A = this chain, B = another copy of it.
């Protein structure tokens, strides 16, 4: 898990959590956390992640992840909806019917970060590697799997 991918995961989190109204805002936050980057890199990151800004209700701009801004949960091609952790388990929620295909995809792309998956209709249980129990690492893995790069 390299720095770029960590940074991308973090960018998403920041943008979900707080109002970011320009790339410089984001830049400051990332720098505070030790990510040494420039606006140029952020521009490229955001482009790849399809993150963009849009007018907020108060007439200022804010960055959003368009896929996630809707009342009805939307999902990417994999039906992925959300991820939670508990102990050494990760629980993935999907659109009904999508759990198995996604679990298969994961099985076909093994990683030392998890040791196995089992899927229901809309939920996947993932057992993480107990030695190297790293949630960030799993997030990155999943992110790569779903969105590439």
Residue ranges of A at the interface with B (Cβ–Cβ < 8 Å): 47-48, 50, 52-55, 59, 61, 64, 66-67, 69-75
Contacts and interface: CB of A to CB of B under 8 A. Distances in A.
A55 B47 contact: yes
Contact of A74 (B52, B54, B72): B72
A54 B66 contact: yes
A69 B64 CA distance: 14
Nearest to A51: B54
Given A47-B55, A53-B52, A54-B52, A72 B75 contact: yes
A59 B128 CA distance: 34
Contacts of A47: 55, 59, 61
A74 B75 contact: no
23 contacts: A47-B55, A47-B59, A47-B61, A48-B55, A50-B54, A50-B55, A52-B52, A52-B53, A52-B54, A54-B66, A64-B66, A66-B66, A66-B69, A67-B70, A70-B70, A70-B74, A71-B74, A71-B75, A72-B72, A72-B73, A72-B74, A72-B75, A74-B74
